Amino acid sequence: MMTVIALSGPIGAGKSTLTKILAADLGSQAFYESVEDNPVLPLFYADPAKYAFLLQIYFLNTRFRNIKDALVADNNVLDRSIYEDELFFQMNADMGRANQTEVDIYRDLLHNMMEELKTLPKKAPDLLVHIDVSYDTMLKRITKRGRSFEQLSYDPTLETYYKTLLEYYGPWYENYNYSPKIRIDGDKYDFVESKEDQTAVITQIEDKLHELGQL
């Protein structure tokens, strides 16, 4: 049975780590978001107001490609998907980093892409796995992975950006309705460092997949 799992969660939630763990456990292909080779991301962190629109178009394009590939492939796991994309752009727009013309162009493009997905044999993921984390856990993981442009020492105003991002995720998760969904407590379960917690999280996800008839 073909099963598509999409992960969601803020920066530093551990999505890539859990994607790797899940893919190995389920014998799935892992789809990772382009970060290390993203030419726009460092520009955005250096000048968010100038590059917010360009960054979102870059991410939207790569997320669209990944979800198309995932929905027609065999079993697979995505560490982030197109379904989260508007959350980031809406937040940046609310922060004054995108003008109305950019907002209109972005939303029209996203709408066209979502309509295109409806033509695929599988229309959406079978399960969304959302990782909830507190600001402290988020910051600890951001610090550990060491990308210079993500650090508060690089830009102290990132504290506001990160905290605002966490505020947007609650309503986004509640309103997500493309597929069944499950929340993972990323503070309680340190699946990044603890094998025991990895097992607990995998069990939760597998139980949900059994409930859905996907395992």
Q: What angle do CA 152, 156, 162 make, to 5 degrees?
A: 70
Residues marked as binding?
9-17, 33, 45, 56, 80, 85, 141-145, 150
Residues marked as binding for substrate?
33, 45, 56, 80, 85, 150
Per residue in 84-103, pLDDT (tens digit) is 999 999 999 999 999 999 99
The pLDDT-based confidence of 36 (bands split at 50, 70, 90) is confident
Mean pLDDT over 113-130 rounds to: 94
74 is catalytic: no
**pLDDT number for residue 73:** 79
Per residue in 155-212, pLDDT (tens digit) is 898 999 999 999 999 999 999 999 999 999 999 999 999 999 999 999 999 999 999 9
pTM of the predicted structure, to 2 decimals:
0.93
From the list 25, 37, 47, 79, the catalytic residue is 79
Any alpha helices (H) in the chain, and if so which ranges?
Answer: 15-26, 41-46, 48-72, 85-94, 100-117, 135-145, 158-175, 195-211
Residue span of the structural domain in which 39 resides: 5-212
Q: What is the CATH number of the domain that holds 76?
A: 3.40.50.300
